[in-house]
Structure 1
Amino acid sequence: MQRAAHKVLTAAAEMVAGDIYFLPRHGEYLICFDCQGLHYEYRRVPHTEGQKMINYLKFNSDMSLTEKRRPQLGAWQFKHADQTIHCRLSAVGDYRDRESLVIRLLYPHAQLKQGYFFADQWQRISQACQQRGLVLFAGPMGSGKTTAMYHFARQLTGKMVLCIEDPIEIQEERFLQIQVNDRADMTYEQLLRVALRHHPDVFIIGEIRDTGTAQIAVRAALSGHLVLSTVHARNVYGVYQRLVNLGVDEQELGQVLNLISYQRLLPTIQGDQRVLFDQVVGWDQEALRRPQAGMTTEWRENLARCQQAGWITPQTVATFQEG
């Protein structure tokens, strides 16, 4: 099972798949990959073999082997082509008590840096991270937000970096990493309150998802910290609206906000993926007056530049026109 599981992981990594799915079917398991939003069937295996592979992966991810119905989360890493790929696992049983497993693959930060379209966008984030304040990353799942956050945090030499995530996705020995555990009453909000007493220079907050976390993140930025976090929103303008809806004071947000960076992974004609950013620097007074606005003018101009340079197809431009 170890060889079989690693064969699946290796095949997914070679395709730069974002997710691996073990899906129960009648008497068998379907193993498929998600690549650039498209699903590819890798193979089908007998149910017994599929369950053994799932058990092997769960065991290595510190998940309970006896629990096959309730949701479980785990983390692991493996080596591929001299690179360490981090895995985030999620298991749950269906109504027939047949277990499914999804593995999110998180690739090295160096791979992301090599895969951007425009260097000035990357530099803009780097400059924002040199200042105290709030830097926010947005984009759909699998777009590389966490990988980007960790890359820029690693560049901050001589700084004490404290991470709070649910779960920890990327292991970094130089950072103090704390994991959310709701069952142990260790929520984002509670951990942030405790973490402030450690006097870090930089916070990485896995996700601003509720009022308490949003307000403490802004408060930490106001008190002189650099705070990096993600926010679920469809575009950069949606991030403003999301934070205000979570109760963040507009004037305080205006004081601390360095940059909002929305990102997507675009398939290229060469067959790989590159990151295109849509960014707004600092506080945009007009943003809250247009909550339904889509992407910025710069986003559409950059899409056109990518097509003119022969990097992406007209179909890709049409697909990603609205982010």
Structure 2
Amino acid sequence: MTTIFRKQLIELIDMTENLKNYFLFKGQASIIDCTSCMRSQPVSGERKLMQQVENIIEQKCLSILKKAHKFGASDLHMIPNEEEYIYFFKKNSQMFEAGKLPLNIGERIISFFKFLSSLDISEKRKPQSGSFQQIFNSHKFSFRVSTLPSIFGKESMVIRLQQHDNAKIIHSLSLFRDATEKIVELAHNRQGLILFVGPTGSGKSTTMYSLTKYCAENLNRHVISLEDPVENSQSHLLQIQVNERSGVTYSTGLKAILRHSPDVIMIGEIRDEATAKAAIQAALTGHLVVSTIHAKDGVGSLYRLLDLGVTTEELKQTITGIVTQRLVVASEGMESELSAVFEILSDELLEEAFHSMLSGKTFLIPYPFSLSYQIERGVREGVIEKG
């Protein structure tokens, strides 16, 4: 933030300190609502200042997003401390400091993003998540927003940046076509559960969207998703967003989806008992289900599902494949800066994993099928950077 901008905004805020909230006249009126309201009433000095504050905040928000996109960031993080907000751009799993903001300005910027995402602006004690869309340079982008209260009484926020309707061709995700061919083989099943496993930022959702794109466009399947929130709008599938305030839960949403005769059901993420139950129920009804789950590896995802109330018999009846993945930096000259490597449990390997789990033994995937081998292979062939 420039010194001129900082000074200008602080002066405006100080001069209107008696206004309790620069975004709200009452309830959850938006910045646009406030501006419209001011235009319809006699404009006082305070209202003019208030409108200037709102305009500057909106411009700053959009400016930060544009800079994050130009930088090539996957995420924008706004993190408070006792004195200020620091915002970071995340790229290739590394955090880069991009700027600092006074606490009061940071709070207003977060409120603006919350409004765009249809979140409760007044709620600062509970985590919230949502999404919104913006157009930059004639391209539509989807932004997934998540807030988290901190010990300083201020909210932190992370925004995931994704180009709208950007599902990639499945074979373009990895430098090794044999791996993506195996994933495509899993999609030819008419029923069962395919899980994509890995930590945050490992590309699970990207691969899942790409696979549903393949199902819709290459296999002519009818694909419906149930997401909370919808992470990235896609034209190849019908997307349903969970909204418990409107009565759309995972349970009611799944029941409604089944009436529309889907071939493939996508559950955005298995994160709790409700989502685990929805995924298993959908797979047991004779549909192909794809979803993501946070776990270290394939076997870890099985134990995670057990912790969420899924029985071992349900796991054996439903799971057809588990794809663990990581993103690696491709060598200079490759088409994409990042590439995915996959470790796939299916068929005999999946049976061995189940057997080891049920007998209390530790399952170790054979080295030629492991992530470590895929990375070593890429380095050896000169397509993945060493280290």
Aligned to 2:302: 240
2:328 counterpart residue number = 266
Q: Do 2:352 and 2:363's aligned partners in 1 also have CA atoms closer than 8 Å?
A: no
Contact 1:278–1:296 (CA<8 Å) still a contact in 2?
Answer: no
Structure 1 272/79 Cα, relative in aligned 2: closer, same or farther at 3 Å?
farther
Match of 1:171 among 233, 241, 245: 233
Following superposition, the deviation at residue 31 of structure 1 comes to 0.8
CA offset digits 1:23-71 (Å, max 9, x no partner): 2234432111222222110111233433333233222222233333432
Q: Could you tell me which residue of structure 1 aligns to residue 351 of structure 2?
A: 285
Which residue does the alignment assign to 2:210? Answer: 151
Structure 2 counterpart of 1:129: 187
Match of 1:3 in 2: 59
Q: Which moved more, 1:230-239 or 1:174-183?
A: 174-183
Unpaired runs of 5+ in structure 2? 1-56
TM-score for both structures, normalised by structure 2: 0.71
Distance 1:111 1:13 in 2: 22
- Aligned residue in 1 for 2:81: 25
Kindly indicate whether structure 1 or structure 2 has the higher relative contact order, using CA contacts under 8 Å at least 6 residues apart. 1
- Residues 57-206 of structure 1: pairs in structure 2 closer than 5 A: 57-80=113-136, 83-107=139-163, 108-110=166-168, 114-133=172-191, 134-155=193-214, 156-157=216-217, 158-183=220-245, 186-206=248-268
Q: Distance in 2 between matches of 1:159 and 1:303?
A: 33
Specify whether residues 293 and 36 from structure 1 end up closer, same or farther in structure 2 by C-alpha distance, changes over 3 A only: farther
- For 1:272, the aligned partner's letter is E
Q: Write the distance in 2 (CA, Å) between the matches of 1:267 and 1:81.
A: 27
2-structure distance, mates of 1:176, 1:16: 29
Q: Distance in 2 between matches of 1:169 and 1:296?
A: 34
Alignment partners' CA distance in 2, 1:51 and 1:215: 37
Task: Give the residue type in structure 2 aligned to 1:306.
Answer: G
Segment drifting more, 105-114 vs 267-276: 105-114
More moved, 298-307 vs 184-193: 184-193
TM-score with structure 1 setting the length:
0.84
Taking the aligned partners of 2:82 and 2:280, their CA distance within structure 1 comes to: 50
- Aligned mates of 1:99, 1:272 — CA distance in 2: 33
Once residues 382 and 204 of structure 2 are traced to their aligned partners in structure 1, the CA distance between those partners, rounded to angstroms, is 26
Distance apart, 1:89 and its partner CA: 0.7
Instruction: Provide the residue aligned with 1:321 in structure 2.
Output: none
Matched ranges for 1:35-74 at <5 A: 35-74=91-130
CA RMSD of aligned residues (A): 2.9
Whose Rg is larger? 2
Equivalenced residue count is 315
Q: CA deviation at 1:152?
A: 1.7
Contact 1:165/1:178 (<8 A) preserved: yes
Asked if the contact 1:254–1:282 (Cα under 8 Å) also holds between the matched residues in 2, the reply is: no
Q: 3-state SS of the aligned residue for 1:228?
A: strand
Q: Which amino acid aligns with 2:344?
A: Q
Q: Helix, strand or coil: the match of 1:312?
A: coil
Change (3 A) 1:110 1:180: same
In 2, the alpha carbon distance for the partners of 1:218 and 1:170 equals: 23
Instruction: Give the structure with the higher percent helix.
Output: 2
Q: Report the residue type matching 1:187 in the other structure.
A: T
Percentage identity across paired residues of the two chains: 34
Q: Does residue 307 in structure 1 map to residue 379 in structure 2?
A: yes
- Superposed CA offset, 1:239-290 (max 9, x none): 2333345454545544543321111111234392211111122362221315
Report the Cα offset of residue 210 of structure 1: 4.2
Contact 1:235 1:294 in 2 (8 A): no
**Contact (CA 8 Å) 1:76, 1:87: kept in 2 or not?**
yes
Matched residues in 1 for 2:289 and 2:91: separation?
31
